[in-house]
Every structure is written in structure tokens, then in C-alpha cells.
Amino acid sequence: MARTSQNVATDLAQVFAKYEKRGVAVFSPCFGSTYRHVGPDALDLLHRLTPNSIIDIPDESARRTILTNEKGRIVDVFWVMKRSHEELLLVTDSTDPSSMRDWIDRYTIIEDAELIDASDFLTRWYVVGPNASDALGEAFSELDFADCIVGELRGMDVAEGGVVLFLRTDAAGQKSWLVIGGAPAVPEINSRFEKAEIEPAPQKLFYHIRISNKVPIAGFD
């Protein structure tokens, strides 16, 4: 039986009500991509391509930056997550992530660096809401989320070969977190979200929260 617009509106109202009561929701974005930028020259190359300083990012932390073209126009806005000196994760919410990839590839000439699209084996979630940090603390009690500031990383293994990373981004305001999990970790991550009553949110709720908090996303606003 086809769902009517009234059914859809009712479902959305219920989702909004659950979010308002719990103060947290989890959203799986259908936009954006995650890249691994690896090699001895990866960090230095990216530092030279972006107007922001990223050369001094400590290991296991992150910084938001941009790429600009010759005319100073923004190519992309993204997070640089430093796993080590030779391994970076680049996370973009752009509807056309190929712009970032093509720009970095254009200037990778003799540098020992490789950009790898990791979107197929790294899943992303946004955990949003005023109680996001507390809810993540319930779901992943092995880690402390209480005193994290924007740009701080947390990480752990939840399955064999299944690493999960947590980055406070405030991408939708209100203590928002980006969660990235390797393929083996996905079932355990979803199970922990469910047990902690971190309800899945539709895209409309994510946009509502983000816009209400006046937080833009490159390529959308």
C-alpha cells in the first residue's frame, strides 16, 4: 500500500518528538565522501594547498580547512583528521567530492602521496543534539566525551579490525559529532546506538537542526 503524505508527515512528527525528548539523534549522510591521504609527503602537500596551517596538527586530532582555486574561490571545505604523519583522513560533506580529489591530484606531481577514496569501507554518521556527548558516553562507555572540544578525536576498536573514530565537529551545532567506522565495526556501532536510544534521523531532521543552528554546509548553502 502506498504511503500518503499524511503518513509521512505523521512519521516525521514522531521522529521530531523523539528527538526533542531525548535530545539526540543519529543521521547517516548520503552526501560527501571520506578519503585516505597517505604517504611521507601527504601532510606537507596538503599544507601547501590550503590557506590554513595544518602542518602542526597533533596526531589523533583534526582541523577544518578549505581548498581554493587560482581565483580564490572555494573548491571544498573539509576536515583533516591526522592518524599519523603519513596517514590523514579527509572528510567532505560536499555534493561533489570529486572537486577536492581532482584539485589535490592536480598538484601531486613528484610527491610521495596518494589519495584513496575510502567511502566504500568507511561509514559515516552524525550524532547531533544537545545531549549528543552524553549519549555517546552511554553507547561507548570505554571513552570520555564530556570535555571534548571541536577538533578533538576519540578512537577505539569495537570488533576485530573494526576501528571507530569520533570527532566533535559541531556540524549541526549543539555538540555534534562525526562518527566514522570501518566495515567490520558497523553492526556493533549500530547496535550500540540502538541500546543507547540514539534514534536514526531522516535527512529532513538533520537539515532542520543544522539550519536552526545557522550552520552551513559547503555546496548546500
In a domain, 68, yes or no: yes
Determine the Cα–Cα distance for residues 11 and 32; give it in Å rounded to an integer.
26
37-70: string of b/e by CB count within 10 Å (b at 16+)?
Answer: bbbebbbbbbbebbeeebeebeeeebbbbebeee
Whole-number pLDDT of residue 124: 95
Same domain, 157 and 92: no
Whole-number pLDDT of residue 6: 54
Same domain, 26 and 132: yes
Whole-number pLDDT of residue 221: 45
In a domain, 91, yes or no: yes
Please give the span between the terminal C-alpha atoms of the chain, in angstroms, as a whole number: 36
Determine the Cα–Cα distance for residues 190 and 200; give it in Å rounded to an integer.
10
In a domain, 112, yes or no: yes
Whole-number pLDDT of residue 9: 57
In a domain, 13, yes or no: no
Same domain, 57 and 98: yes
Whole-number pLDDT of residue 16: 80
Say which CATH number the domain at 104 has.
3.30.70.1400
- Which residue is listed with cell 589519495? 115
Same domain, 57 and 75: yes
Q: Which domain holds residue 189?
A: 22-31+120-212
Say which CATH number the domain at 205 has.
3.30.1360.120
In a domain, 2, yes or no: no
Whole-number pLDDT of residue 219: 47
Determine the Cα–Cα distance for residues 38 and 82; give it in Å rounded to an integer.
10
Determine the Cα–Cα distance for residues 8 and 202; give it in Å rounded to an integer.
11
In a domain, 168, yes or no: yes
Over the stretch 24-58, which tens digit does the pLDDT of each residue have?
Answer: 999 998 888 999 999 999 999 999 999 989 999 99
Determine the Cα–Cα distance for residues 29 and 67; give it in Å rounded to an integer.
22
In a domain, 16, yes or no: no
Same domain, 91 and 148: no
Q: Which residues of the chain fall short of a pLDDT of 50?
A: 1, 8, 219-221
Same domain, 111 and 128: no
State which of 74, 95, 117 marks the end of a domain. 117
Whole-number pLDDT of residue 125: 96
State which of 83, 117, 151 marks the end of a domain. 117
Determine the Cα–Cα distance for residues 183 and 163; give it in Å rounded to an integer.
9
Over the stretch 71-96, which tens digit does the pLDDT of each residue have?
Answer: 888 889 999 999 998 999 999 988 88
Whole-number pLDDT of residue 5: 53
- How many independent structural domains does the chain possess? 2
Same domain, 81 and 131: no
Contact 80, 88 (CB under 8 A): yes
Same domain, 94 and 68: yes
State which of 62, 90, 117 marks the end of a domain. 117
